[in-house]
Amino acid sequence: MSSDSEVNQSRRGALKCLAFGGAGTLFLLSGGVLAPIDLALAASKKSAHAMTGTPLFLQISDTHIGFNKEANPDVAGTLKQTIDFVNAMPAKPALTIHTGDITHLSKAEEFDTASQLLSGLNITELHTVPGEHDITDGIGTEYFNRFGQASANKGYYSFDHNGVHFIALVNVMNFKPNGLGAFGDDQLAWLEQDLKGRSSSTPIVVFAHMPMWTIYEPWGWGTGDADQATSYLSRFGSVTVLNGHIHQIVQKVEGNITFHTARSTAYPQPTAGDGPGPGPLKVPSDQLAKMLGVTSVKISGHPSSAVLTDTTLG
Amino acid sequence: MLTKNFGRNLINAFAVTAMLATTSAASTAVAQDANAVVMKNFDFAPMSITVKVGSSVTWKNLDGEPHTVTSVDGLFRSGALDQNDSFTFKFDKPGTYKYLCSIHPRMMASVVVQ
């Protein structure tokens, strides 16, 4: 319980730690304790490698290709910058997870541009889930044309990599009236089946676009039926839940489950309740790079634990 | 002095009101088929609009974030509307049509067709 209080940092505390880092801040989460470590990636790639070892995989989120307003007139540029940044990492992740809002308006040409840019990653294996911006026609025609095979167009699927069980979930096709996302009964039934019979020492990584815990209900930051999903996951020794949607990092640890939302590569959003809604947040142009970034995740150890590294573009 | 100004202002007020009443009556007659709703600050405004059967409603997004106009019963769906994009739908049958933004489903409103 005492480790929980160290981990459940206030957002302000987390921001202070993030500000410390300059080019990037590394959080080591090990055994439920979150400790910030100052890390200037630009200055010292050697120390980065020594501290983190080989990241298992990369989380990228909310690329919003097609957005062109004040908060960032060049989201393709910042995505390219992100990809160059990832390609220059001293240790190459084995696979990439995109937690959705690949495009801004679900348009074919936006998906084309996004795919083209993402193919510049030297990580060849890419797994995606859609965000609500990717399926604005209601059925996600363009999204599923490109990314539907993994799930036979259902949107949810699972796969294994190096002993880690990955589960992709969709919570943007079934909104609740209060604005929270939802999985729906079919997907929850599938999830229960998918987990049945797996050893509880199997490390699990779940990824979905909307936060799988309620961060701020008035802005729809949460998933209405997430508790049911979480109940199937709680028996496992190491569960990492990766989400996007809110364009900022919020993190929570509950038992053996670590919940984490990622930054966007396109534009930041205000903190919960700060303004009329979760729209694009314009910041001075020299601040933008500090608010965009990616996350790398390493899972290791016996019993397994997750080390999450959030890095910014500037 | 005060009384004089008050009297003048009152007369002006009446005149303006009369003018407005005429103008709006005229514009109602002319613009019967164009009824406008805007998306602003993550709200539909007005949240309820009443129109005559056979008339159209035009939605315009004034927010920096895309919104959609998606009817709950599946009758109409705008797709993603970027800032300053518009969507128009013509209502041929009477009824109350609830709709929301599918990207931000807390945004809910309705069209009453009489």
Helix (H, G, I), strand (E, B) or coil at A300: strand
Distance from the B25 Cα atom to the nearest Cα atom in chain A, whole angstroms: 35
> Of A20-24, A148-152, A266-270, which gets the smallest average pLDDT?
A20-24
Spatial contact of B49 and B21, defined as CB atoms under 8 Å apart: no
Look at residue A263 and tell me whether its pLDDT is greater than 70. yes
Is B29 buried (19+), middle (13-18) or exposed (0-12) by CB count in 10 A? exposed
Note the pLDDT of residue B6. 53
Q: Given the structure tokens 């259902």, which residue do they identify? A: A154
Note the pLDDT of residue A9. 41
Q: What average pLDDT does the structure give for chain A?
A: 85
Residue-wise pLDDT for A83-101, tens only, equals 999 999 988 899 999 999 9
On the CB side of B81, how many CA atoms lie within 13 Å of its CA? 25
Q: Enumerate residues 6+ apart whose C-beta is below 8 A from A209.
A: A99, A100, A101, A129, A130, A131, A132, A170, A171, A172, A181, A243, A244, A245
Look at residue A45 and tell me whether its pLDDT is greater than 50. no
Note the pLDDT of residue A303. 78
How do strand A95-98 and strand A126-128 relate by DSSP bridges?
Answer: parallel
**pTM of the entire predicted model:** 0.80
User: pLDDT band at A34, cuts 50/70/90?
Assistant: very low
Residue-wise pLDDT for B22-66, tens only, equals 444 444 444 444 599 999 999 999 999 999 999 999 999 999 899
Spatial contact of A223 and A259, defined as CB atoms under 8 Å apart: no
Note the pLDDT of residue A262. 98
Beta carbons of A279 and B63 less than 8 Å apart: yes
Supply the DSSP string of B8-33, one letter for each residue: HHHHHHHHHHHHHHHHHHHHHHHTTT
Look at residue A16 and tell me whether its pLDDT is greater than 70. no
Residue-wise pLDDT for A163-178, tens only, equals 899 999 999 998 776 7
Residue of B nearest to A132 (CA): B103
The residues on A that touch B, with CB distances below 8 Å, are 69-71, 104-106, 132-133, 136-138, 175-179, 218-220, 276-280
Look at residue A50 and tell me whether its pLDDT is greater than 50. no
Task: Determine the Cα–Cα distance for residues A259 and A261; give it in Å rounded to an integer.
Answer: 7
Residue-wise pLDDT for B33-42, tens only, equals 459 999 999 9
> Of A54-63, A142-151, A287-296, which gets the smallest average pLDDT?
A54-63
Note the pLDDT of residue A304. 82
Establish whether the linkage from the previous residue to A93 is cis, with ω within 30° of 0: no
B63, B66, B106 ranked by CB distance to A220: nearest:
B106
Beta carbons of A70 and B64 less than 8 Å apart: yes
Task: Determine the Cα–Cα distance for residues A82 and A266; give it in Å rounded to an integer.
Answer: 10
Task: Determine the Cα–Cα distance for residues A94 and A291; give it in Å rounded to an integer.
Answer: 25
Residue of A nearest to B83 (CA): A69
Beta carbons of B65 and A220 less than 8 Å apart: no
Residue-wise pLDDT for A271-282, tens only, equals 999 999 999 999
For residue A277, give both structure tokens.
Answer: 């809604």
